[in-house]
Structure 1
Amino acid sequence: MTDLLLLSEAQMRRIEPYFPLSHGIARVDDRRVISGIVFVIRNGLRWRDAPPGYGPHKTIYNRFVRWSRLGVFNKIFAELARKAGKPSRLMIDATHLKAHRTAASLLKKGLFPRRIGRTKGGLNSKLHAVCDGQGRPVVMLLSEGQMSDYKGAALMLDALPPASQLLADKGYDADWFRRALAERGIMACIPSKSNRKNPIEHDRKLYRQRHKIENMFGRLKDWRRIHTRYDRCAHTFMSAICIAATVIFWL
């Protein structure tokens, strides 16, 4: 295991409180299995190609799917982000994630949508995210690729943590969004669209900080199974995104 990625004991202590309780037979070593999941997602491997040092690949895959259905990885991300404290500044943006043919080829059966849509770039999903002033994600939402930025913002509005400022690009220049932020005591730093009759001034120097959320998306996409979606189910793909965000920014 010396050449393989292995989460440290300190990292495990931070996430272990959110693991489901073991019933009956004790679980296989959590540290080894979770490290195997991280390794596969980061390197874009098939589950069967996970190095033998992590144990049977079926054990790694089954743990990932089972805990994804339970929302374990989403909860770990949300709780670690919440414990970081109140951010003074927020940034919001969205990015497209290409859906591989293995994720988009079959019809979806069941109650839950797949969150895959068609745009000019083909079939893809869209990740909407809010990050703090340091470029660390605090709220994330997965949608179909054709969903507009401001519609994604509307879905995340109630989950926004208290802050004094929010930075966004022109795609979020809507009167209702500015009013909603003002009601929460958040100052909007958003450039006006070219077709706005009465342009609204914004702090240009402050707006330069928005590159941090672009950098955040870039770091997430360095993980191969995030950059390209291979998961058919939306909940497993969202779990993979939460795992990447947790390891990169919060551990």
Structure 2
Amino acid sequence: MKELFYLSHEQIARIKRYFPRSHGIPRVDDRRVVSGIIYVIKHGLQWKDAPREYGPYKTLYNRFIRWSRLGVFNRIFAELVEQNGSTTRLMIDTTHLKAHRTAASLLKKGAFSRCIGRTKGGLNSKLHAVCNAFGQPLAFHLSGGQVSDYKGAAVLLDTLPQARELLADRGYDADWFRHALSRKGITPCIPGRHSRKTPVVYDKEVYKQRHKIEIMFGRLKDWRRIAMRYDRCAHTFFSAICLAAIVIFYI
């Protein structure tokens, strides 16, 4: 017998106030439907294969798509991050998320970017993330797999909270990035590239803590619809990432 997942009443109470208000006919039980959505994303199922205990699969799919377009899960993630308080240490890194053929079979032209690119590993997306000293994600940015780490860092730069230091690998060793962090009062703990003529001084003991953001990526990729992108629309896939982060790290 398969083991079903349900959010506890305490967990659903923490996020329910951010749900859109229902109009007209009362909405189907939020706890059951959201738990079903989480089950599908975590196990990498097709929506039609969702267990019947969660109700009609079309209800799960329609709720997820509609709320993704409204940015509900993105807003919940941002609110929970803000409630989490300040941090003294930040970490930034990226990871690749492979795109399934159902997501990659797209029209090349469109009003909105699909955030899918081609690299040596095939078609994929790249997830840029910032986390705190405990390995909890604070901000995400989704891009095509071919996009440079620098461009993701430039987007996330304005979202960085006040902190004492930021840890990153040598892929982020750029003078403009170091200067931007210094202007924010953040000390960069980034090893220098091998091509640098002048060695970069950084705290090697502090740098050892960078493994926490790698662990964070690993926990996100335990959810199969995150590790393998099935969703065509970037906003839908990004909502799945935010929902996974909410469940794993904040509730």
SS at match of 1:59: helix
User: Any gaps of 5 or more consecutive residues in structure 1?
Assistant: none
Counterpart of 1:195 in structure 2 is 195
Aligned 1:235-250 pairs, distance under 5 A: 235-250=235-250
SS at match of 1:22: coil
CA 1:109–1:214: 2 relative to 1, 3 Å: same
Task: Please report the TM-score for the alignment, with normalisation by the length of structure 2.
Answer: 0.98
Counterpart of 2:123 in structure 1 is 123
User: Any gaps of 5 or more consecutive residues in structure 2?
Assistant: none
CA deviation profile, 1:138-189 (whole Å, cap 9, x unmatched):
0000000011111100011101111111000000000000000000000100
CA deviation profile, 1:39-65 (whole Å, cap 9, x unmatched):
000000000000000000000000000
State the AA in 1 paired with 2:51: P
Counterpart of 1:28 in structure 2 is 28
Stretches of 4+ aligned residues off by more than 6 angstroms:
none
Do residues 143 (structure 1) and 148 (structure 2) align? no
Q: Which deviates further from its counterpart, 183-192 or 16-25?
A: 16-25
8 Å contact from structure 1 (residues 87, 133) kept in 2: yes
Aligned 1:36-115 pairs, distance under 5 A: 36-107=36-107, 110-115=110-115
Deviation of residue 3 (structure 1)?
3.5
SS at match of 1:126: strand
SS at match of 1:18: coil
CA distance in 2 between counterparts of 1:100 and 1:132 reads: 30
CA distance in 2 between counterparts of 1:3 and 1:228 reads: 22
Root mean square deviation of aligned Cα = 1.2
Counterpart of 2:158 in structure 1 is 158
Deviation of residue 2 (structure 1)?
9.5
Task: Please report the TM-score for the alignment, with normalisation by the length of structure 1.
Answer: 0.98
Do residues 174 (structure 1) and 201 (structure 2) align? no
SS at match of 2:158: helix
SS at match of 1:206: helix
CA distance in 1 between counterparts of 2:106 and 2:219 reads: 30
CA distance in 1 between counterparts of 2:156 and 2:138 reads: 11
CA distance in 2 between counterparts of 1:50 and 1:113 reads: 29
CA deviation profile, 1:198-246 (whole Å, cap 9, x unmatched):
1211000000000000000000000000000000000000000001111
SS at match of 1:159: coil
SS at match of 1:188: strand
